[in-house]
Chain A
Amino acid sequence: GAGVSQSPRYKVAKRGQDVALRCDPISGHVSLFWYQQALGQGPEFLTYFQNEAQLDKSGLPSDRFFAERPEGSVSTLKIQRTQQEDSAVYLCASSLTTGTYGYTFGSGTRLTVV
Chain B
Amino acid sequence: AQSVTQLGSHVSVSEGALVLLRCNYSSSVPPYLFWYVQYPNQGLQLLLKYTTGATLVKGINGFEAEFKKSETSFHLTKPSAHMSDAAEYFCAVLNMGGSTLGRLYFGRGTQLTVWP
Hey, which bits of chain A sit against chain B, CB under 8 A? Answer: 4, 6, 31, 33, 35, 40-45, 48, 56, 58, 91, 93, 95, 98-99, 101-108, 110
Contacts and interface: CB of A to CB of B under 8 A. Distances in A.
Q: Which of A101, A102, A105, A110 has the most CB of B within 10 A?
A: A102
B107 to A, nearest CB: 5
A93 B92 CA distance: 14
B42 A107 contact: yes
Contacts of B102: 31, 33, 48, 95, 98-99
Given A99-B96, A99-B101, A99-B102, A4 B43 contact: yes
Interface in B65-116: 90, 92, 94, 96, 99-109
A56 B99 CA distance: 8
Nearest to B101: A98
12 contacts: A33-B103, A33-B104, A41-B109, A43-B90, A43-B104, A58-B100, A91-B43, A99-B32, A99-B94, A102-B49, A103-B104, A107-B42
B43 A105 contact: yes
A48 B103 contact: yes
Contacts of B105: 45
- Give the one of B32, B101, B102 with max A CB within 10 A: B102
Contacts of A110: 41
B51 interface: yes
B18 interface: no
Given A58-B100, A93-B44, 8 more contacts: A42-B4, A42-B107, A42-B109, A45-B100, A48-B103, A101-B49, A101-B51, A102-B46
B63 interface: no
A91 B44 CA distance: 9
Contacts of A108: 42-43
The listed residue with most A CB atoms (<10 A of its CB), out of B32, B42, B101, B104, is B104
Interface in B1-55: 4, 9, 32, 34, 36, 41-46, 49, 51
